[in-house]
Structure 1
Amino acid sequence: MPRRRSLLLGGGALGAVALLSGCSDDAEPRRDTGGEAAGALLRARGARDSTALLARYDATVDAHPDLAKRLAPLREETARHVAAFTTKDHSASPSATASRSPSAGGQRVPKVPEDEKQALSALAQAERQTADTRTAALATAPPELARLLASVAACGAAHVYLLTQRGTDS
C-alpha cells in the first residue's frame, strides 16, 4: 500500500524530528579535545556504512528485480545518508541520489539470499546493525554530528520496520 508506506515514512521522519528537538547545543562552546578528528572518523564510518547499505540495496534489487519498486524509496534515503556524511558543507542539503555501481565505492557486492523473504530479512538485519552502531556512536560524537547520527539511526530503524512488514505488496 503506497499510502501506508508514505504514512510510515512520514511518521519515521516526525519521530526523528521529535528526537532531534530534544537535542540542544550547549550554552558554552566545548573545548575541542580531539573532537574534530573523532568527528571526522565518525563521518567517515557513517559514509562507509551507508555506502555498504547502498551496495546491499543494489545487490538485493539485482537478485530480486520484483523488489525494486518496494526498495526504491529506502535506497534513495540511504543515498541521502551517504551524501550527508560526505558533504563538506554540513549545512548544505545533500543530493538525493547516488549512482549505482557494481562495486559501490570499491566494496565487494554483498551476497543476497535466493529467497526473497530471506533477502529482505538480510537487508533488515544490515539496517538494524548499522542503526545500532550509529546509536552507540552518539555518546562520543560532537553535537552537530550526534544530531545527524540520531536522525540517520532513526531512519534506519524505520527502514527495518518497513522491510520486516508482512503481507505488503508494495
Structure 2
Amino acid sequence: MPIDSRPRRRSLLATGVTGAAALLLTGCSDEAREVVERERASLARRLRRRAARDSAELLDRYDRTIAAHPSLAERLRPLRADVARHVTAFGGTASRGSASPRAQASPEAARNAGADTTVPEDSGRALAALADAERATADARTRALLDAPPELARLLASVAAAGAVHAYLLTNGER
C-alpha cells in the first residue's frame, strides 16, 4: 500500500494549534493576532464564495439539461433541488435559469468540468456530462478541505459526498 506523503488534517491542525500557542507564549501583540484572524476569515469567505459559485454553475447545468431533455426532468428534479440547497448553504442565491455573472464557476471547477458546457443531444450523454460535472465539483471541494476552517470543512465534505452520490445516481453506478 503506497504511503501518502501529503499532510493529514490532524497534523495541519496540530501545527496550527502549536503556532497559536507559540504566539500566545511569546507575548504576541493583539494586533498580530487580529491580522491572523482576519486572514483566516478572508480565506474562509473566499472558499465559501467559490463553493457557492461552483454550485450555482452546477445548478445552471441541471436547468439547461432539463430544458434540453424534458423527459429527464422527473429524474433530475430531486438532484437539482439538492444542488439549489447547496448554493444557499454556501451563502449564494439559487435562482431558476442561467447563473448570474457573480455565480459563474471558479476557474478550477471550469477546468475540471471541461470548457464545453453545452448539453449533448443524446440524453444518455447529457446525464454522463452532468455526472462528470458533479464529480469535478466534488473533487474540487475535497481539495479545498485542506485550507478550510473546521466548520466550513465539514460543510464542504458533506456537499462533496452528496455530489459523489449524485454522480453515482446519474450513471446508475456505471463508470
Structure 1 outlier segments of 4+, above 6 Å: none
Contact 2:48 2:90 survives alignment (8 Å): yes
More helix, by proportion: 2
> Which consecutive residues of structure 2, in runs of 5 or more, have no partner in the other structure?
1-12, 21-35, 106-115
- Within 5 A, what are the aligned runs for 1:13-52? 32=37, 34-52=39-57
Taking the aligned partners of 2:163 and 2:95, their CA distance within structure 1 comes to: 20
Larger Rg: 2
Residue type matched to 1:45 in 2? Answer: R
Taking the aligned partners of 2:61 and 2:67, their CA distance within structure 1 comes to: 10
Deviations 1:75-116 (A, max 9, x none): 0000000000016xxxxxxxxx93312x22135994100000
1:143 aligns with 2:150: yes
Taking the aligned partners of 1:105 and 1:78, their CA distance within structure 2 comes to: 16
RMSD (Å), alpha carbons? 2.6
> Which consecutive residues of structure 1, in runs of 5 or more, have no partner in the other structure?
1-24, 88-96
Number of aligned residue pairs: give it. 131
Taking the aligned partners of 2:73 and 2:99, their CA distance within structure 1 comes to: 17
Identity of aligned residues (%): 58
Pair 65,153 (structure 1): closer, same or farther in 2 beyond 3 Å: same
1:105 paired residue among 65, 89, 100? 100
TM-score normalised to the size of structure 1?
0.70
Higher relative contact order (CA 8 A, sep 6+): 1
- Within 5 A, what are the aligned runs for 1:1-170? 32=37, 34-86=39-91, 98-101=94-97, 103-106=98-101, 107=104, 110-165=117-172
Taking the aligned partners of 1:116 and 1:164, their CA distance within structure 2 comes to: 12
Give the structure 1 partner of residue 26 of structure 2: none
